[in-house]
Amino acid sequence: MLLGTGPDGPITGRRVAITGIGVLACCGVGTDAFWNGLHGPAPEGERRVHDFDPDRWFTSKEVRTLDRFAQFSVAVAEMALEDAGTLDADPGRSGVIMGTGVGGLQSLETQILVYAEKGAGRVSPRLVPMMMSNAGAAAVSMRLGWHGPSETVITACAAGAHSIAHAARLVASGRCDVAVGGAAEAGMTNVGIAAFANMTALSTTGNSRPFDVRRDGFVMTEGAGALVFEDWDRAVARGTRIYGELAGAGSTADAHHITAPAPGGSGAAACMLEAMRDAGIRPDEVRHINAHGTSTPLNDLAESDAIGKVFGSDSPPVTSTKGVTGHGLGASGAIEAVAAVLTIEHASIPPTVGFEQPDPEIHLDVVGPAARSWEPGPILSNSFGFGGHNGCLVISPA
């Protein structure tokens, strides 16, 4: 078992309360539908957010000028803020941090086809603001009229976790009283899917089976998640519901390979330790791990090795919600942070759908095929991305 030492982490400072939740996923739109979906069978066919109705949030003109990922960003931010109740926040002390992996890929691909078929003169003048990765955060800040930091994190599949950590950091440091942190992805274009398929990252069977011996790649999805963070004392004073606390976060780099994880999960292990140091807890105090668990042969094994390095042979219960949701790329860490908060709220760990035949090389207490009741405690939520980006969050009960 590794023991961590080092400087204070990124969330050190004022306590950070989680007071609002917003989520869009292929298994459900909104917290109730999403939570129920995590306990059902994996969706059949492409794992798109079929229940998303942009008319609920946008005019027809706005729909034409915002890429789908930016629409998702606004939708989950507004859902989270509605859930948080009346904030009466100072716009200058309110921030937005929204992550993404590929940004407006859908708009870019559409306009490339327009260029090829109709010429340069027919390319949309709106393409640049639609394709730019910061369009989601920009759209949220403009919708809310917030003048504090409005920033975008782009760290592949770790972007959601990093965005949430950064948003919490704004509150902990005293720069903001309120911040929205999350991520959105809508990269299921023909070229995007083909690119992942041709690099043999996608499942050839269409099944997501995290930590199962039959796993053969991830299943691509789209979606978004967002959390509202407030200074703890402020949240208590206004009498709002506090779901939990963003107690710590870690960020490391494998510095190894552009797509493959570091052998033995060394970078991931260091990231988990940093998050726990930041939260001021020991490994034996972690009660549950919401794993990255992509269902790829290398990544699941590396994550298992990393967990073994940190926790020894007796790991906390582990689950991967990607068995249902699939892999949302840059949005995955935000969607899974929402799942972690709801796991505390319901005192139940959702199952790892698709986990039926354990891999003898993976020595984890994987929750499945059914949910498991538990006494809520600190949750470690892991996200690891191409480029060797690692992001880990510690989410604790209120």
pLDDT in tens, 104-143: 999 999 999 999 999 999 999 999 999 999 999 999 999 9
Residue 150 has pLDDT above 90, yes or no: yes
Give residue 8's pLDDT. 42
Nearest to 361 by CA among 296, 292, 284, 305: 305
| Residue labelled with tokens 């991967």 | 320
Tell whether 210 is covered by a domain: yes
Interval 251-300: pLDDT, tens: 999 999 999 999 899 999 999 999 999 999 999 999 999 999 999 999 99
| H-run or E-run covering 333 | helix 332-346
Q: Is there a domain that residue 82 lies in?
A: yes
State the total domains in the chain.
1
pLDDT for 12 equals 65
pLDDT of residue 11: 61
Residue 9: inside a domain, yes or no? no
Q: Which residues are catalytic, by number?
A: 157, 292, 327
Q: Identify the pLDDT of residue 13.
A: 80
In a domain, 2, yes or no: no
User: What pLDDT score was predicted for residue 346?
Assistant: 98
Span 56-61, average pLDDT: 95
Integer angstrom CA distances of residue 249 from 265, 274, 292: 18, 7, 15
Please say whether the beta carbons of 74 and 183 come within 8 A: no
Q: Which pLDDT band, with edges at 50, 70 and 90, does 205 fall under?
A: very high
Residue 148 in domain: yes
Task: Determine the Cα–Cα distance for residues 57 and 30; give it in Å rounded to an integer.
Answer: 14
CATH value at residue 254: 3.40.47.10
pLDDT digits (tens, 9 = 90+) for 215-245: 999 999 999 999 999 999 999 999 999 999 9
**Alpha carbons 305 and 113: distance in angstroms, whole number:** 44
What is the per-residue pLDDT for 1?
35
pLDDT of residue 7: 35
Task: Please check whether residue 4 lies inside any domain of the structure.
Answer: no
Structural domain containing residue 389: 16-397
Q: Read off the pLDDT of residues 66-115 as tens digits, 9 standing for 90 and up.
A: 999 999 999 999 999 999 999 999 999 999 999 999 999 999 999 999 99
Sequence-ordered strand ranges (E) for 293-343 = 317-319
Please answer whether residues 278 and 11 qualify as being in contact, where contact means their C-beta atoms are separated by less than 8 angstroms: yes
- Picking from 113, 145, 109, the residue whose alpha carbon sits closest to that of residue 130 is 109
pTM of the model: 0.95
Residues 6+ apart with CB under 8 A from 330: 99, 100, 101, 102, 154, 155, 156, 157, 159, 160, 183, 184, 185, 385
What is the residue type of 299? N
For 313-356, how does the pLDDT look when each residue is reduced to its tens digit (9 = 90+)? 889 999 999 999 999 999 999 999 999 999 999 999 999 999 99
